[in-house]
Structure 1
Amino acid sequence: METPFGRSHGQPKTTTIVLTLILLTLLFLTIIPVFYPSLGYPFFLLKALSPKPSPTTAYQPELQTPIKITAGEDCDIFSGKWVPNHNAPYYTNTTCWAIHEHQNCMKYGRPDTNFMKWKWKPEGCELPILNPAQFLEIVRGKSLAFIGDSVSRNQMQSLICLLSRLEYPKDVSQTKDESFKRWIYPSYNFTMAFFSTPHLVKAEERDPNGPTHTGLFNLYLDEFDERWTTQIEEFDYLIISGGHWFDRPMVFYENHHIVGGHYCLIENVTDLTKFYGLRKAFRTTFRAINSLENFKGVTILRTFAPSHFENGVWNQGGNCVRRKPFERNETTLDGDSLEFYMIQIEEFESAKRDGRKKGKRYRLMDTTQASLLRPDGHPSRYGHWPHENVTLYNDCVHWCLPGPIDTWNDFLLHILKMEGVRSHQERLYSGGERTGFK
């Protein structure tokens, strides 16, 4: 059979050419959705159909590039190293208003800038820097919630800043409480929310001072924190995280009775350790999600990000003064951070197995290794003016903005892309009817 580019003689070959062209066209239309599953139209229309940048944002052609998936299921994007990125940062403290003051390192005089100029390089593949147009196109008409502590809010603020190159969100919060924020991107009908729940489960402050002067908390380890569990059924994506607050003194309740605690120093209360509390809290959190009959979204666990205090703990002179990332052979995950990480992974895998029976979907955002290698990315003492008389310790828990935490949202975009591939495969395998993807 002669190809369409060969010579033809007579009607039979003309028919063959026409049939070949039809087959090639059908093949092309079939392949395109596989690589661009989250778009309702071919990638070459993205530039024409994407909304123009907001008046406060200069038009930047690189934002309009087509969606690409360079790392597939067989590439572990969470294992790699940091390499120089001279194009960073992609926003500054003067172009983004969403930066929390305590993470505004440039405003408060941090003298070096190299901590902003690195990107994560996975082994065997590439992880693209977050493209705002791609991200917002994928989440058009959808909703995403960050659920956790102030480090979770730190990631949300990073995402707002990264997307600000294209559009800023509108605050549509239903309360003035800064612990529960809701934003919408009008051009994309995309909703983003933050639910503050440092312990993930129901909790209350028992003593504002406590044994370590950081508060003593009652944790009801088998009870849902209804401030967020009653609000999430409508969301398409949940990002669950936590850990750092479990270092503080706690009293543990189960079935409405005290069962133990962590460094609570109360007579006749057994010290069950913070690891017991963390495990039970994550178990209850995932049980809450699996119990929601109407929740059809994707639950993403963002794993523990270690702090980097050296020469003392956080309230005894500890600080983080390094000025470049660790090489992989310079440090290891150990001690409490390793235990926190393993507990999260174990409870995640258990919840994933249980949730699969109910059609729930779980995905992992393993930020632990990438974060472990960035001792240079914290505010340290650059979270306030030097002359201010404030009771703030060196901050080696949160992350400067711009900074390494921006890479967490590169991970997030990749997860959303791969979720689009899964959704397309589900429709193919189920004849158009959505089922739980294993």
Structure 2
Amino acid sequence: MKHNQANNDHHHHQFLYRIIIKNYKSSSTKRVVLLAVLIFLVILTTVPIYHPSINYSSFFFTTSTDNSSSSSLVPGDDDWDIKIQSSSTHKCDIFSGEWVPNPEAPYYTNETCWAIHEHQNCMKYGRPDSEFMKWKWKPDGCSLPVFNPAQFLELVRDKSLAFVGDSVARNQMQSLICLLSRVEYPYDVSYTSNEQYKRWKYTTYNFTLATFWTPHLVKAQKTDPTKSGLFNLYMDELDEAWTTQAEEFDYIILSGGQWFFTPMVFYENHKIVGCHYCQLQNVTNLGMYYGYRRALRTALKAINGLKNYKGVTYLRTFAPAHFEGGLWNEGGNCVRTVPFKSNETLLEGPSMELYMIQVEEFRNAEREGRKRGLKFRLLDTTQAMLLRPDGHPSRFGHWPNENVTLYNDCVHWCLPGPIDTWNDFLLEMIKTERLRSAEESLRFSDRKLLVK
């Protein structure tokens, strides 16, 4: 199914949320104090926290909506237009934009960060080009600050964050560890030796980072090994490996999608209701979209049903793969070395369908969560990653002479690489959350003052 760019933008913007900070005028001492708190938070979230190990010539960035900048903090690139101002990305859609050159990147390497998964360690395994690491996302009409590790850690002090999903979620977690490594490395405090359920502790900041492996988001079991890759999915049952621990976290980043391309049998009420590409007799082919919608709905409903959860849930949207010349198991590859411009490609086909399912289910979950005071946010990485066919490992996830059965990887992302921008988004959203909370506190104060 094809969509033109205007229709794309319409769907994209329809469900994104913007913050409008209103002016408050009152002689009340209490309102003055609350306003002072808000101003402090604005300063906190727009001026990076100092840390002696960081060169802040590349970190003292704030968002500018003025495109007539006379100076750029990135040498030789006037298009960046990043100035030291007190403006904020609440004035623009940070998820719609273009990739622009960034000669300052990367901010870590595969030699300075031990957290990179072997199959995403592209430079170790001989990728000959390095320009894929030297791009930055620039939203339309404003700029996105470069990730500031000291500021991030200060904002999440005494908090916890969990990545819930598949290996792409793990890919983002390892990117975050590498970005934070300029300030501090965490200690492994995992409760199990299973690498699919890791926990890390940043002791200076009392910040816990975790990952939960749940590629189908719901309860799933692999069938007879003779039926290669076939999974039973229990669409109305929770994956308790993560749902029983979710209440412990202040932030949850939920994501998934790639595993729904594989063969699946769908169960509801302990009975088979259909499948996707299962090739079983007398079983209706309901398709992958049915399976993904039901699984995502169950996962979001599980979060809304947690009695003691008070955190912020981010639904990270689908990151398209970039196989060309064939499917993933039919010789397809990704050999491009530069990003697309936004007018060079469109979100269509399965990627568009999965994205639209996410947006629709997110909207429903957000509406239900609001009744309980829960916060759902859309971490919309889809457009940015659609434009990065150059950022995948391809064949550079292992040595050429290794005796391994690995296909060209056009799903995961090299580290360092474009996936680092997901954490630029995340930091900006956490900062915005602080502003939003301060705004809500002011509004609550207004209501109390009116009662008096």
TM range (shorter): 0.7 to 0.9
| Structure 2 gap segments, 5+ residues each | 1-26, 64-85
The answer (yes or no) to whether the contact 2:62–2:144 under 8 Å persists in 1 is no
Amino acid at match of 2:38: V
Q: Number of paired residues?
A: 399
Corresponding residue for residue 268 of structure 1:
282
Q: 1:144: how far off?
A: 0.5
Taking only aligned residues, the RMSD between alpha carbons, in angstroms, comes to 2.5
Distance 1:206 1:273 in 2: 18
Corresponding residue for residue 141 of structure 1:
158
Picking from 171, 190, 194, the partner of 1:177 is 194
Distance 1:196 1:122 in 2: 31
Max Rg structure: 1
Q: Which moved more, 1:109-118 or 1:418-427?
A: 418-427
Structure 1 residues 159-195: Cα deviation after superposition (integer angstroms, max 9, x where no partner): 0000001110111000000010111101100111000
- TM-score normalised by L of structure 2: 0.84
The answer (yes or no) to whether the contact 2:137–2:421 under 8 Å persists in 1 is yes
The answer (yes or no) to whether the contact 1:249–1:263 under 8 Å persists in 2 is yes
Structure 2 vs 1, CA of residues 374 and 70 (structure 1 numbering), >3 Å: closer, same or farther? farther
Q: 1:33: how far off?
A: 3.6
Picking from 67, 78, 86, the partner of 2:95 is 78
Amino acid at match of 2:316: R
Structure 2 vs 1, CA of residues 63 and 269 (structure 1 numbering), >3 Å: closer, same or farther? same
Corresponding residue for residue 15 of structure 1:
none
Amino acid at match of 2:55: Q
Say whether residues 1:305 and 2:319 are aligned partners. Answer: yes
Q: 1:428: how far off?
A: 1.5
SS of match in other structure, 2:259: helix
Corresponding residue for residue 362 of structure 1:
376
SS of match in other structure, 1:430: helix
Corresponding residue for residue 155 of structure 1:
172
Distance 1:119 1:43 in 2: 19
Distance 1:91 1:141 in 2: 25
Corresponding residue for residue 4 of structure 1:
none
Distance 1:290 1:393 in 2: 38
Structure 2 vs 1, CA of residues 254 and 38 (structure 1 numbering), >3 Å: closer, same or farther? farther
Say whether residues 1:60 and 2:64 are aligned partners. Answer: no
Picking from 37, 41, 47, the partner of 1:37 is 41
Corresponding residue for residue 97 of structure 1:
114
Distance 2:47 2:365 in 1: 40
- TM-score normalised by L of structure 1: 0.86
| Structure 1 gap segments, 5+ residues each | 1-22, 54-58
Q: 1:63: how far off?
A: 7.9
Say whether residues 1:117 and 2:134 are aligned partners. Answer: yes
Distance 1:187 1:63 in 2: 24
SS of match in other structure, 1:246: helix
Amino acid at match of 2:406: L
Distance 2:106 2:145 in 1: 14
Corresponding residue for residue 261 of structure 2:
247
The answer (yes or no) to whether the contact 2:48–2:148 under 8 Å persists in 1 is no
The answer (yes or no) to whether the contact 2:48–2:60 under 8 Å persists in 1 is no
SS of match in other structure, 1:319: coil
SS of match in other structure, 1:207: coil
Picking from 58, 64, 87, the partner of 2:104 is 87
Structure 1 residues 213-257: Cα deviation after superposition (integer angstroms, max 9, x where no partner): 4x1000000111110000010211000000000000000000111
Say whether residues 1:285 and 2:302 are aligned partners. Answer: no
Q: 1:43: how far off?
A: 8.5
The answer (yes or no) to whether the contact 1:325–1:375 under 8 Å persists in 2 is yes
Distance 1:101 1:42 in 2: 34
